[in-house]
Amino acid sequence: MTPDNGADIAIPPALAAQIQAAADEEHRPAIDLLSDAVARYLAARNRREVLLTENLSDEDVAAILRGSMDRQFDHLNAELD
């Protein structure tokens, strides 16, 4: 994988195989699946950083993020039904 700046990103072969298998199951390019996953990770990381600036405890932040994840899973489950 080569980003716009020309730097290569190494992915361990076992993880690359899992990414490709998931992409194949979803009938989409592996790069799209990987981009979505990284975007979600960075969004969650950003939310955590914002929440930490609000002087919340780590436990409060974890509870808020768990609630967010629960809503995402509920949405995904609804799509599968």
Boundaries of every domain in the chain = 13-80
Beta carbons of 20 and 32 less than 8 angstroms apart: no
> CA 81 to CA 78: how far, in whole Å?
5
> CA 51 to CA 46: how far, in whole Å?
9
pLDDT at 71 over 70: no
Comparing 25-29, 57-61, 77-81, which segment has the lowest mean pLDDT?
77-81
For 15-57, what is each residue's pLDDT tens digit?
999 999 999 999 999 999 999 999 988 888 887 777 667 777 7
> CA 62 to CA 34: how far, in whole Å?
24
Q: What is the mean pLDDT of residues 53-78?
A: 68
Beta carbons of 18 and 28 less than 8 angstroms apart: no
> CA 33 to CA 29: how far, in whole Å?
7
- What is the DSSP code (8-state) at residue 28? S
What is the structure's pLDDT at 47?
Answer: 76
